Amino acid sequence: MNPIKFSEARHLLSRTGMGVEWKVLQQLINQPFREEAVDQLIKTYSPQTPNPPRLTPLYKMDRLNKAGARGKKVMHNVMMRENDVLKKWWVKQMLITTSPFTERMTLFWHNHFTSSLASVKRPQLLLNQNKLLRQFGMGNFSAMLMYLTSDPAMLLYLDGDKNIAGSPNENFARELLELFTLGHGHYSEADVKAAALAFTGWGVNHATGKFVFREDLHDGGYKHFLGESGNLNGNDILKIILKQPRTAEHIAEKFWKSFVNLERPNPRVIRQWGKVFRESSYEISALMSEVLKSDVFWAEQNRGALIKSPIELMVGTMRTFPHRSLTTKDIMHTSRILGQDLFDPPNVKGWEGGKDWISTQSLLIRTSLQQKMSRDANIRAMARHFPKVSPDVMKQWLLPREPVLPPQHRKGELWYVQNLMFDPGYQLA
Amino acid sequence: MKRRDFLKLTGAVSAASVAPSVMALPASNKNNKVVVLVHLEGGNDGLNTLIPYTNPDYYALRPKLAIPANKVIPLDAKMGMHASLGGLKPLWDKGEMAWLQGVGYNQADRSHFRSIDIWESASSSNEYSKTGWLSQVLPQLTDGLHGIVLGQGIGPLAGSKLNAVEMENPKTFLNQAKLIQDMSYAHSNVASMKHILGVQNQLYATASELSHKLKRQIPVRARFPKTPFGHQMQSIAEMIVSGVNSPVYKAKLSGFDTHANQLQLQKNSLYHLSGVLQAFAESMKRAGLWNDVVLMTYSEFGRRAKENRSGGTDHGKASAHLVMGGSINGGRLYGKTPDLANLDNGDLAYSTDFKKVYGTLARRWWNVKNPWQAHGEIPFV
């Protein structure tokens, strides 16, 4: 067991929450050991969906869609409006939640099992998918995989509903293997074809928004997939995939990139994490706990080794300094401009993240944003919530590493905090 | 305590890496040859831009949209330009402008987003790449500033190997960039921090270059239309004339996605394009720089050969594009005229891969290695 230091509690919080709230930081420091702090954090996860927005029911959307050009236009307007309702709802949850860890994990899974409003065109289905991500986000990955592969938003997003016997569409099968489970290079083209055939007949009832299995469109033929043969169906494929060690390792690699370091993962560590994940029968909390308790997570060289996503930067700042310097609408728009449009990832691979978050364009915008958030009126309001601590502790609170710019304290505390926020290190987690 | 000592002490910076306080930019572009890219956003209908005005198939495919032969500006016995481009005819006559016909790529994608990605990254239809085609060319030329995008869309200049910035206009950029501090002395072994410092240095260096060169801004001697595209091209002209050292500029004109009411829409858009390009050519000539500039248009795709039922055309494949500049071997049509009797699934088939155009600019204009050698080159420059 390792006693937890201030800088370590800060590290844990900045990686698993949204921002570094002083109060929560104090609670973590009160835990005698790092391991207990991790256990306590994982316990805060909540599988329920908080106050989901009311959106136009799918049967109404479907009816409009079938009602000629005018109906389609009305449907389009409803969709555009409710897309924003949905995005703002999520931003708001991230701002007000008492379990930022839940939101962080939901965002992680949203970027794994991706689907987009732009292509699914049904905000209600994306909300349903978001509920699933929350339900399973700290649950069992096998169950999550079963539910997400038959999720209507996913089936529409990856043309799963168009995949029928006699005319297979490989889109879904390919991404399932390449992105959701095994990872590129761990299956053959023949495996993709076989998997596509096995999933034929999986579809969506547009009026109810529910999954349907269309027996008549299913290819019941004999298939070979990853060394197994038989009249395999979609569920058989998933079971075979879950037997492959690579599936657990691929998820472990994603955890590495999201929670440890944006650089290439260490293969030895990944094998270890994959083993723990498999031996727990794919309990996500077991993997999370293994990751957060590992030496590599706490290693000095991995502090500040991640780049904050636009959401982390904005929501995080607003939770660290509880002051409404941005509205939910501001956050929705700015995160889109900065390349993280919630519910609308750029493609099925999701947001690349890491270095991709910072380009010349986005850094200019991030810097202007920083200025907006820390301009005089805002920072004075924020200052009411500053802890009464020394400049040195303040620095350790706000930055993961020593500042690049020496912060000036002689002009007062506000100036000092502004200095810290403008340090390149503030962009890091 | 001095700043450097402080940094050494804090360990944020390793002493060995303390560089001069302004990054050495511009490490000047070897030959000062400029390319201006103009994205015609929406997918310009090449068939009504460069028109086969004697071909009966053209009139059969487009009963409503075909441009009558007597309204076309003839370039040769078979092909002519849309009348809205009349202002560019003098450039054609002087041999300073040429058309490239049938430009496209294999297995064209009809999505605006996908197709522009393919064009801008020079990838093939089934390959996803996020680095712009210029990152295979410009690092050979200079390690200084590589490109400036007016408006949005870093596309062809995307990628970590390039120093490129996007801006509304130079003034706004310089204003925003005031917040960017000089970090060229800082160094870090952490990849995340290294990346941010690198980007910050690019911004700082570009801002220094611009503010230095634009301090004594030389006014352009041409009248640009007062439209967003006109402003973009005027800014580009101002930067070139004032000696900003960037081998590439990019601007964008929207309004080419003509699914309906195409006759009017395209007429306006081409007229707008023509007016701005005339002013641009004029400004370059007056500054004595026209021989150092090549301008080329590109677009997501051309449009279907057959008109649709809404007086428009839907997303197609190959299209015609123009190149202009004092060094262009102009007054000529390059590439094969698309065969309207042999369409590719209702589309003009491509005969010139766009990578051949890029390769030409690399090899024949900038005189560096052509990354797309297999596609060959076109002697337009």
Interface test with A, best of B6, B14, B190 (most A CBs within 10 A): B190
Residue whose entry in the numeric block shows the structure tokens 């000062």: B32
Q: How far apart are CA A255 and CA A111, in angstroms?
A: 12
The CB density around residue A167, as the number of other CB atoms within 10 Å, is 9
Identity at B313, one-letter amino acid code: T
**Residues A350/A114, Cβ–Cβ less than 8 Å:** yes
Chain A residues with a Cβ under 8 Å from any Cβ in chain B: 261-263, 301, 304-307, 347, 349, 352, 354-356, 358-361, 363-364, 367-368, 370-371, 401-406, 422, 424-425, 427-428
Identity at B321, one-letter amino acid code: H
Are the beta carbons of A305 and B192 separated by less than 8 Å? yes
Which of B12, B177, B195 is the closest to A402 by Cβ? B12
Q: Look at residue B14 and tell me if it is in a domain.
A: no
Residue whose entry in the numeric block shows the structure tokens 């995307």: B158
Q: How far apart are CA A172 and CA A175, in angstroms?
A: 5
Are the beta carbons of A422 and B164 separated by less than 8 Å? no
Identity at B141, one-letter amino acid code: L
Identity at A384, one-letter amino acid code: R
Chain B residues inside the 8 Å CB shell of A368: 176, 179
Chain A residues inside the 8 Å CB shell of B12: 401-404
Q: How far apart are CA B174 and CA B177, in angstroms?
A: 5
A205 DSSP β-pair partners:
A210
Identity at A419, one-letter amino acid code: N
Are the beta carbons of B191 and A261 separated by less than 8 Å? yes
Q: Look at residue B222 and tell me if it is in a domain.
A: yes
User: pLDDT for A141-189, tens place per residue?
Assistant: 999 999 999 999 999 999 999 999 998 888 899 999 999 999 999 999 9
Q: What is the average pLDDT across A125-137?
A: 98
| Contact residues for B339 (Cβ-Cβ < 8 A; gap 6+) | B349
Laid out side by side, the sheet with B50-52 consists of: B50-52, B79-81, B73-74
* Reported ipTM: 0.94
Chain B residues inside the 8 Å CB shell of A405: 181
Q: Look at residue A14 and tell me if it is in a domain.
A: yes
Q: How far apart are CA B36 and CA B38, in angstroms?
A: 7
User: pLDDT for B283-301, tens place per residue?
Assistant: 999 999 999 999 999 999 9
Are the beta carbons of B181 and A305 separated by less than 8 Å? no
Chain B residues inside the 8 Å CB shell of A263: 191
Closest CA to A102 of A251, A321, A327, A284: A284
Q: Look at residue A339 and tell me if it is in a domain.
A: yes
Chain B residues inside the 8 Å CB shell of A423: none
The DSSP code for B259 is: S
Chain A nearest C-alpha distance from B179 (Å): 7
Which H or E element spans position B297?
strand B293-298
What is the per-residue pLDDT for B30?
55
Tokens of A380: 């004075």
Helix-strand-coil split of chain A, %, nearest 5: 60, 5, 35
Residue whose entry in the numeric block shows the structure tokens 């491509």: B350
B88: three-class secondary structure by DSSP: helix
What is the per-residue pLDDT for A266?
97
Interface test with B, best of A364, A370, A392, A408 (most B CBs within 10 A): A364
Chain A residue with the nearest C-alpha to that of B172: A364
User: pLDDT for A137-153, tens place per residue?
Assistant: 999 999 999 999 999 99
C-alpha distances (whole Å) from A235 to each of A113, A146, A202 are: 17, 7, 11
Which of B12, B179, B195 is the closest to A371 by Cβ? B179
Q: Between residues 163 and 202 of chain B, which touch chain A (CB distance below 8 Å)?
A: 164-166, 173, 176-177, 179-181, 183, 186, 188-193, 195-197, 199-200, 202
DSSP-H helix ranges across B142-298: 170-177, 191-215, 228-241, 262-286
Are the beta carbons of B13 and A404 separated by less than 8 Å? yes
Buried b (16+ CB within 10 A) or exposed e, A174-188: bbbbbbbbbbeebbe
Are the beta carbons of B179 and A262 separated by less than 8 Å? no
- Counting the structural domains of chain B, the total is 1
- What is the pLDDT confidence band of residue A385, given thresholds at 50, 70 and 90? confident
Which of A363, A402, A427 is the closest to B11 by Cβ? A402
Chain B residues inside the 8 Å CB shell of A425: 193
Chain B residues inside the 8 Å CB shell of A364: 173, 176-177, 180, 203
Which of A262, A363, A368 is the closest to B199 by Cβ? A363
Whether pLDDT at A27 is above 60: yes
Output A378 or A103, whichever has higher pLDDT. A103
B79: three-class secondary structure by DSSP: strand
User: pLDDT for A255-297, tens place per residue?
Assistant: 999 999 999 899 999 999 999 999 999 999 999 999 999 999 9
Strands B34-40 and B248-253: parallel
Q: Look at residue A122 and tell me if it is in a domain.
A: no
Chain B residues inside the 8 Å CB shell of A304: 190, 192-193
**Residues A115/A131, Cβ–Cβ less than 8 Å:** no
Are the beta carbons of B7 and A404 separated by less than 8 Å? yes
Chain B nearest C-alpha distance from A261 (Å): 9
Closest CA to B273 of B51, B49, B93, B102: B49
Chain B residue with the nearest C-alpha to that of A359: B199
Which of B6, B181, B203 is the closest to A364 by Cβ? B203
Q: Look at residue B241 and tell me if it is in a domain.
A: yes
The CB density around residue B111, as the number of other CB atoms within 10 Å, is 12
Q: How far apart are CA A257 and CA A265, in angstroms?
A: 7
| Contact residues for A365 (Cβ-Cβ < 8 A; gap 6+) | A334, A337, A338
Count residue pairs from A and B with Cβ separation < 8 A.
93
**Residues A19/A318, Cβ–Cβ less than 8 Å:** yes
A167: three-class secondary structure by DSSP: strand
Residue whose entry in the numeric block shows the structure tokens 């000036």: A408
Chain B residue with the nearest C-alpha to that of A337: B152
Tell me the angle at which helices A189-198 and A234-243 cross, rounded to the nearest 10 degrees.
Answer: 140
The DSSP code for A282 is: S
Q: Look at residue A349 and tell me if it is in a domain.
A: yes
Q: Look at residue B171 and tell me if it is in a domain.
A: yes
**Residues A298/A8, Cβ–Cβ less than 8 Å:** yes
Tell me the angle at which helices A123-136 and A141-149 cross, rounded to the nearest 10 degrees.
Answer: 170
Q: Look at residue B247 and tell me if it is in a domain.
A: yes
Please report, rounded to a whole number, the percentage of residues in chain A having pLDDT higher than 90: 85
Chain A residues inside the 8 Å CB shell of B179: 367-368, 370-371, 422
Chain B nearest C-alpha distance from A37 (Å): 26
Chain A residue with the nearest C-alpha to that of B147: A360
Residue whose entry in the numeric block shows the structure tokens 């904005």: A314
Q: Look at residue A11 and tell me if it is in a domain.
A: yes
Q: Which domain holds residue B101?
A: 36-375
What is the per-residue pLDDT for B2?
37
Q: Which domain holds residue A19?
A: 1-43
Q: What angle do CA B2, A305, A343 make, to 5 degrees?
A: 130
The number of residues in chain B equals: 381
Interface test with A, best of B160, B189, B196, B250 (most A CBs within 10 A): B196
Q: What is the average pLDDT across A357-386?
A: 88
Whether pLDDT at A382 is above 90: no
Chain B residue with the nearest C-alpha to that of A371: B179
What is the per-residue pLDDT for B3?
36
Q: Look at residue B12 and tell me if it is in a domain.
A: no
Helix-strand-coil split of chain B, %, nearest 5: 40, 15, 45
C-alpha distances (whole Å) from B55 to each of B52, B84, B103, B339 are: 6, 20, 20, 10
CA A275 to chain centre: 23
C-alpha distances (whole Å) from B215 to each of A58, B171, B207, B208, B281 are: 59, 11, 12, 10, 24
Which of A307, A368, A404 is the closest to B12 by Cβ? A404
A59-68, A403-412, B82-91: which range is least confident on average?
Answer: A403-412
Closest CA to A151 of A204, A85, A93, A81: A204
A200: three-class secondary structure by DSSP: coil
Tokens of A158: 């990856």
Identity at A74, one-letter amino acid code: V
Chain B nearest C-alpha distance from A403 (Å): 7
Buried b (16+ CB within 10 A) or exposed e, A236-275: bbbebbbebebbbbbbbbbbbbbbbbbbebeeebbebbbe
- CATH code: domain of residue B358: 3.40.720
Are the beta carbons of A304 and B193 separated by less than 8 Å? yes
Which of B165, B191, B206 is the closest to A263 by Cβ? B191
Q: What is the mean pLDDT of chain A?
A: 95
Chain B residues inside the 8 Å CB shell of A352: 130
Q: Look at residue B228 and tell me if it is in a domain.
A: yes
What is the per-residue pLDDT for B1?
33
B95: three-class secondary structure by DSSP: coil
Closest CA to B221 of B279, B272, B157: B279
Tokens of B140: 């050979």
Are the beta carbons of A360 and B160 separated by less than 8 Å? no
Tokens of B371: 């990354």
A46-60, A252-266, A371-385, B194-208: which range is least confident on average?
Answer: A371-385
Q: Look at residue A295 and tell me if it is in a domain.
A: no
Closest CA to A207 of A60, A79, A71: A60
Which of B10, B130, B203 is the closest to A360 by Cβ? B203
- For A47-59, give the DSSP string: -SPPSPPP---HH
- Counting the structural domains of chain A, the total is 2
Q: Look at residue B61 and tell me if it is in a domain.
A: yes
Q: Look at residue A56 and tell me if it is in a domain.
A: no
Strands B319-324 and B97-104: antiparallel
Q: Which residues, given as ranges, of chain B have pLDDT below 50? A: 1-27
User: In this complex, is the C-beta atom of B3 within 8 Å of any C-beta atom belonging to chain A?
Assistant: yes
Q: What angle do CA B160, B166, B172 make, to 5 degrees?
A: 140
